[in-house]
Structure formats: structure tokens, C-alpha cells
Amino acid sequence: MKKQIFFFVKNLVKNISIVSVFFIALTLISSSSVSVTINKMSKIGTQNLAEIEEETSIIVEQSNGLAPLVTVENPDIPAVSLPFGAIMWGYIVNSSVFDEGTCYFDINDPGTIEYLQDTESDDFLSGGTGCTDGYWYACENSTGALWKIDPDNGDMTYIGGGGVGLNGLSHDVTTNILYGALGSALYMIDIENGEQEFIGSCGVNCMIGIAFDYDGVLYGWSISSDCLYTINIETGEATEVGPLGINLNYAQGGHFCMEDDILYLAAYTIKPDTCFLYECDEDKGACTLISQFDNNYTVSFLAIPYDYSNQPPTAPYVTGPTYGNIGVGYEWTFLSTDPEDDNITYYVDWGDVCGGAEWHGPYQSGEEVTLAHTYYYQNSFIINTLAVDENGAESDWTYYEVTMPKNKMLYNPLLLRLLERFPNTFYILRQLLRL
């Protein structure tokens, strides 16, 4: 009996001590200096929000303890004046109205072509693509020499390089690398000087055009087989997707619209002998007619503009324990990659009233980040995390569930109820109790 009274008194004193410390922490946290620090400051690395806004022209707003709302006001990317997702650039090889040169037209009205200007190249441009710098790039048919074209006015700047003549050209937005195709061969193209590096054979004859989708998958189509293929950019090997359902002739162009991930083909066909705009099913290869180009225009390539100003990083991939014991520290690993290879900062909410929500970083794109955390009461918790690049683009959320069983030595219902009502006090309480 005396032993029971002893433990009862001991637990009572312990609870009174904890509650006393709790109210001390509550008093401290209500002071103006601490309140201002907690409510107005969100650290990303070692910078506060005012410094970030001043150095990067990024406006960061608080959002009630969740990830701050971030908008980029002045991205350092040249803007393309044509409306994104509505316009296609192209190159007219043959026309009864225009000379050979650059043009653009509405996706929904390919019959109405706006001519930009005559070509400056020695041979016609057989392949072209949009790029992340807001310009489009094209290659000469006979030499493969590279040209840079201003989409606003059609001005052409000679880059050079080349070696073999290329039929198709496409830019991978996930790696910022340019690729070209000739017949059955795939090449990597240096966008700075136009030099070519042979990758490998496709194993398919007459690969007349190539195009990357938003995820970095390379597609190609052959005038020999009239089929659509995926192409391995490491080896050049092509895998058939399916028949196009149309009879292709020589001049061909194609490009993905990054807004809706649709592949468009400017296809010159044998029967009938004219050029059409098609939508191509990337999963099956089948083509659906959109419209005919008026006046029998022959368009040798397409390049669809897209807002490349900044793409968000991937949703963080989280690895670590899904089950553990309370009061024990565990580690979790977070990994995200950014298309532009920007540095990444992670926002992590551990899902408990004790852990709070914190920023970690910045870290390099693709760098594994290991963070430690301790759960002090039993429950199932959801780790909420996202990645933000240095330009303010946010990834999708990742949710990772962790379960901690009950441990009577650390489980205190009275303390937990107080923490649930005043969650911010844990930061000071943890220091006072040396948890």
C-alpha cells in the first residue's frame, strides 16, 4: 500500500512539474519577440524571406504554417510573344504562294499560314524543334548544319557544325540535350556549336522525324514502314508502337505540345499527294486528321512554343522506417530532381504536434537528403513533404505513413492534450525538458 502511495505521489509531482514547465513555455512563447520570430520567419537554408525576395525577385507569402505561397515575378527567361500552346512554327519547303522560309500558324487553323521571312540557309531546313531558351533550332538537310531562329520575326543565326545531313531534330526538356536523326541513325547534337556525336542505329530505315514528349521519351516515325516508334536515347534502338494509318512521303515534321502532351505531325502523304496536319496517338501510333494545309504547302518541320521559364522539381521520394518505437530517433531520406538542375529546398511536416513543419536546404538536384526525427507518442503519422526549386516552383506533395506503438513510459495524456491545443510551445518545451 505504501509503495502504491509512493508512486502515486511521484507521478503527481511529475505531472505538476511538466504542467508548470509547460505554462512557463507558454508564457515565453506569448512574448512579442518570440511570437514575431515564429510567425514571421521561415528559413530556407540560412536565408530569411526578406533576403530571398531581395536576391531572387521571388515573392514569398506565409500560408498558416504550411508551405509558403511562392510566385516568380521576374523569371530570367526571354518571353515568346506568340501565345503558348496555340501556335506552331514551321518551315515551308514548297508553296504556290510563298518562297521557301519560316512561318507560323494556329494549331486549329493550319490552312491560314503567316509567313515570317525567306530562308538564309544554303539547303532547306529538314528538321526543327523548340528549346528552353525560347528560340527554335533547325538543321540543314544536306549538311546537318545547325541554325537558331528567332520566333518573333524569323531571323536566322548560323551556328554551324553538322557533318551528316539530318532528317529530324528534337530537344529533350528533361536534360536540355538536342538530338538528331538520319535514316536509321541517332545523333546527339551540341546546341552551342552544332557538332554531332553518333549514338547508334535505330534498326529501322528512313526515320524521317523525331520528337520528345514532356517526360523525355523520344518518338520517331518512318516513311518506310509508316509506323511510330519509341527510341532509346542511350543506344538508338527503336521499338515499334504501332502503324500510323497514313502513307507518308518525304517531307515530314512533328512536335509534342507540352501543355497537353499531344504529338502533332505535319505529314506529306502519297495518296492524296499533299500535306496535312495530324494528331498522333503516342500509345498506338494511329493518326487523326485535323486539317489540310491550304495552297498545297509542304511543311518540313514543326516546333510548338512552350513556356519553358521554369519547371517544378519532382515530388520527393521518401524512404525510411514505416514502423518504430516512440522516444527513439529514426532517419528518413528525401530525394527530388529538378528539370533545370536547380537547387532544391524541402518542406517537411512530420505529422505530429511535437515536430512542427520545417524547411531544409537548399540541396543539389538529385542529392539524397537524410533527416532525423523522434516521435514521442503512439499514433499513425503522415509525413507531408514537397520540394521547391530556387525559382519558387513547387513539386507535388508526397505523403509517407509512419506508425508508432504505445509506450507507457513516455505516454502522458494530459501533456498531449495541452500540446495539441498549443502545438508551437513544443519548441521551447523541448529545450526546457532537454528532450
Q: Are residues 157 and 282 in the same domain?
A: yes
410 DSSP assignment: T
Q: Are residues 262 and 379 in the same domain?
A: no
Q: Are residues 20 and 91 in the same domain?
A: no
The answer to whether residue 62 sits within a structural domain is: no
Cell of 313: 522539381
The answer to whether residue 374 sits within a structural domain is: yes
Q: Are residues 228 and 113 in the same domain?
A: yes
pLDDT score, position 135: 87
In the predicted model, what is the mean pLDDT of the chain?
76
* Distance between CA atoms of residues 168 and 127, nearest Å: 4
Least confident of 3-7, 115-119, 322-326: 3-7
Q: Is the pLDDT of residue 62 over 50?
A: no
φ, ψ at 117 (rounded to 5°)? -165, 165
The answer to whether residue 68 sits within a structural domain is: no
pLDDT tens digit sequence for 278-295 = 899 999 999 998 888 776
pLDDT confidence of 414, banded at 50, 70, 90? Answer: low
More confident residue, 375 or 432: 375
pTM score of the predicted model: 0.55
Among 236, 269, 303, which residue terminates a domain? Answer: 303
pLDDT confidence of 60, banded at 50, 70, 90? Answer: very low
Total tally of structural domains belonging to the chain: 2
Count of beta carbons in the 10 Å neighbourhood of residue 14? 11
pLDDT tens digit sequence for 376-393 = 888 999 999 999 998 888
pLDDT tens digit sequence for 89-109 = 888 887 767 778 888 888 777
Cell of 257: 505540345
Q: Are residues 292 and 175 in the same domain?
A: yes
Cell of 22: 509547460
Among 278, 303, 328, which residue terminates a domain? Answer: 303
Max avg pLDDT among 44-48, 250-254, 320-324:
320-324
Q: Is the pLDDT of residue 25 over 70?
A: no
Q: Is the pLDDT of residue 3 over 60?
A: no
Q: Is the pLDDT of residue 63 over 60?
A: no
**Strand intervals (E) in 119-244:** 125-130, 136-140, 146-149, 156-160, 168-172, 177-182, 185-189, 196-201, 207-212, 218-222, 227-231, 238-243
pLDDT score, position 66: 29
Q: Are residues 40 and 107 in the same domain?
A: no
Q: What is the CATH number of the domain that holds 214?
A: 2.120.10.80
Q: Is the pLDDT of residue 191 over 50?
A: yes
Q: What is the CATH number of the domain that holds 31?
A: 2.60.40.10
Least confident of 1-5, 92-96, 280-284, 301-305: 1-5
Q: Are residues 296 and 321 in the same domain?
A: no
Domain that holds residue 101: 87-303
Which ranges constitute the DSSP H helices of 209-328?
none
pLDDT score, position 46: 33
Between the CA of residue 403 and those of 29, 376, 386, 411, what are the distances in Å? 30, 12, 21, 15
Q: Are residues 113 and 240 in the same domain?
A: yes
Among 245, 270, 303, which residue terminates a domain? Answer: 303
The answer to whether residue 58 sits within a structural domain is: no
pLDDT score, position 67: 30
* Distance between CA atoms of residues 238 and 228, nearest Å: 9
pLDDT confidence of 431, banded at 50, 70, 90? Answer: low
pLDDT confidence of 40, banded at 50, 70, 90? Answer: very low
What proportion of the chain, given as a percentage, has pLDDT over 70?
71
Q: Are residues 289 and 330 in the same domain?
A: no
